[in-house]
């Protein structure tokens, strides 16, 4: 095994949308292509990108992580069974990095990790979900993954009617469960914002046959305890699928307090970027393994090598992998969901193009999606994304 080349680029992932915390008008993503030769005449190019919600990391990639990866020789890159040793390449990238302070570093490493897994699966001639099922789950893979349509963003001039129309389009695409943003009305006193959001929620629930289990709401970490409790009291009668990121992602003790007062499912974790941060959430966040949802995004949090550690940690703490529904709406997490038996995956049918969404020829049916039988992660089967990646 040798690395023949690593290319990187920065592409816009911009959009006029906003959630309760940020707008996405200047959002970018790093993309990488890694070509690996196996020494026996085969070569494969793996691709990676950094999900959404964090910016491109060209500096960290160029100065630290790409040179460390390029310096890996065949002894590092080749596993005992002759396959690409992604875990050893990952360890080489992380040499001389101190613990803690994950932030943007975990994003840069995650981009390269994704490309390495794509290449590893291509060299073995398998889809990544199949490689993962064979290697970590005794060959058992799910037939399909549950996916839900995430949207309901705030954008200028968007009213309740436009929100309901958007959700209708998702149902028309085959989704059965949808998610909308709440808590985003700018500068509005909490009791007015709450009244407005309850009206938005009721309008969407009407479309969903008043079945709360088909609607999730997302605060994007904006509330303090007072607002989270006020909203929680108002949301509880709707029995929603989940109440997402009500609080700052690192404020574990306050999550524990909220969980004492809000009985239906909570969801969080998309802004925790390491196994150790995830473990602190599990230890101190008061979350309940029989109902709550964990949304760690493998692309943002050092990639799949680290995500495997997170799944192992969860098992040790009595949590099923089925409680995990990763953030990001990308094909990498979808492969992981099917191959490792997660609870499902997020999907963005209308935003974060071309990175959001799945293979062009695999429609969503009854809220579930099947995986194509293409080698690697399957980027070549997603036309709009492949148009960007192939130019690298």
In the complex, the residues that contact Mg ion under the rule CB under 5 A are 218
Task: Give the shortest CB-246-to-Mg ion separation in angstroms.
Answer: 11
Catalytic status, residue 327: yes
Q: Considering the complex, state which of residue 183 and residue 372 has its C-beta at the smaller distance from Mg ion.
A: 183
Helices (H) and strands (E) in the chain, counts: 14, 11
Q: Considering the complex, state which of residue 242 and residue 302 has its C-beta at the smaller distance from Mg ion.
A: 242
Q: Considering the complex, state which of residue 166 and residue 218 has its C-beta at the smaller distance from Mg ion.
A: 218
Task: Give the shortest CB-278-to-Mg ion separation in angstroms.
Answer: 16
State how far the alpha carbon of 165 is from the alpha carbons of 17, 19, 160, 203, 297, in Å.
Answer: 16, 18, 9, 10, 28
69 and 93 Cβ atoms separated by less than 8 Å:
yes
Q: Considering the complex, state which of residue 84 and residue 180 has its C-beta at the smaller distance from Mg ion.
A: 180
Beta bridge partners of 179: 150, 216
Candidates 240, 307, 236; CA nearest to 273 is 307
Q: Considering the complex, state which of residue 221 and residue 303 has its C-beta at the smaller distance from Mg ion.
A: 221
Task: Give the shortest CB-9-to-Mg ion separation in angstroms.
Answer: 26
234 and 202 Cβ atoms separated by less than 8 Å:
no
Catalytic status, residue 206: no
Helices 303-316 and 86-93: crossing angle in degrees, nearest 10, is 100
Task: Give the shortest CB-179-to-Mg ion separation in angstroms.
Answer: 8
Only one residue has tokens 């959430």, namely 281
Cα gap 114→118, rounded to integer Å: 6
337 and 142 Cβ atoms separated by less than 8 Å:
yes
Cα gap 277→279, rounded to integer Å: 5
Task: Give the shortest CB-216-to-Mg ion separation in angstroms.
Answer: 9
Helix (H, G, I), strand (E, B) or coil at 60: helix
For residue 306, how far is the Cα from the chain centroid? Answer: 14
DSSP E strand boundaries for 95-197: 144-150, 178-181
Candidates 59, 50, 35; CA nearest to 356 is 50
Alpha-carbon Rg for the chain in angstroms: 20
Q: Considering the complex, state which of residue 326 and residue 378 has its C-beta at the smaller distance from Mg ion.
A: 326
83 and 42 Cβ atoms separated by less than 8 Å:
no
Active-site hit among 102, 126, 179, 181:
181
152 and 351 Cβ atoms separated by less than 8 Å:
no
Active-site hit among 179, 255, 327, 330:
327
Phi, psi of 237 (to 5 degrees): -65, -20
Q: Considering the complex, state which of residue 218 and residue 277 has its C-beta at the smaller distance from Mg ion.
A: 218
Structure tokens at 281: 């959430």
Catalytic residues: 181, 327
């Amino acid at each position: 095994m040798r690395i023949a080349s690593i290319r990187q680029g920065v592409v816009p992932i911009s959009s006029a949308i906003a959630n309760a915390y940020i707008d996405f008008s200047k959002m970018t993503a790093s993309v990488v292509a890694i070509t690996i030769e196996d020494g026996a005449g085969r070569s494969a190019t793996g691709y990676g990108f950094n999900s959404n919600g964090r910016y491109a990391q060209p500096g960290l990639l160029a100065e630290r992580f790409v040179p460390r990866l390029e310096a890996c020789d065949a002894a590092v890159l080749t596993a005992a069974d002759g396959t690409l040793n992604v875990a050893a390449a990952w360890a080489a990238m992380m040499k001389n990095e101190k613990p803690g302070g994950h932030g943007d570093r975990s994003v840069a490493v995650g981009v390269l990790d994704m490309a390495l897994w794509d290449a590893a699966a291509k060299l073995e001639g398998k889809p990544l979900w199949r490689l993962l099922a064979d290697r970590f789950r005794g060959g058992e893979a799910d037939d399909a993954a549950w996916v839900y349509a995430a949207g309901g963003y705030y954008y200028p001039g968007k009213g309740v009617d436009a929100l309901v129309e958007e959700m209708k389009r998702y149902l028309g695409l085959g989704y059965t469960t949808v998610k909308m943003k709440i808590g985003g009305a700018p500068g509005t006193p909490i009791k007015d914002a709450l009244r407005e959001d309850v009206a938005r929620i009721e309008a969407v629930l009407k479309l969903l046959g008043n079945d709360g289990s088909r609607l999730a709401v997302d605060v994007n970490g904006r509330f303090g305890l007072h607002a989270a409790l006020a909203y929680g009291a108002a949301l509880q009668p709707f029995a929603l699928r989940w109440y997402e990121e009500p609080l700052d992602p690192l404020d574990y003790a306050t999550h524990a307090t909220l969980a004492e007062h809000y009985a239906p499912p909570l969801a969080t974790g998309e802004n925790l970027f390491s196994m150790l941060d995830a473990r602190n959430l599990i230890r101190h966040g008061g979350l309940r393994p029989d109902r709550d949802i964990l949304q760690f995004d493998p692309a943002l949090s050092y990639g799949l090598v680290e995500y495997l550690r997170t799944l192992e940690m969860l098992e040790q703490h009595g949590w099923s992998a089925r409680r995990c529904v990763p953030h990001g709406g990308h094909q990498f997490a979808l492969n992981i969901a099917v191959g490792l038996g997660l609870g499902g995956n997020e999907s963005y049918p209308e935003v974060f193009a071309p990175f959001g969404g799945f293979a062009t020829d695999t429609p969503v049916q009854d809220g579930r999606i099947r995986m194509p039988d293409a080698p690697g992660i399957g980027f070549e089967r997603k036309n709009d994304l492949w148009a960007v990646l192939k130019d690298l």
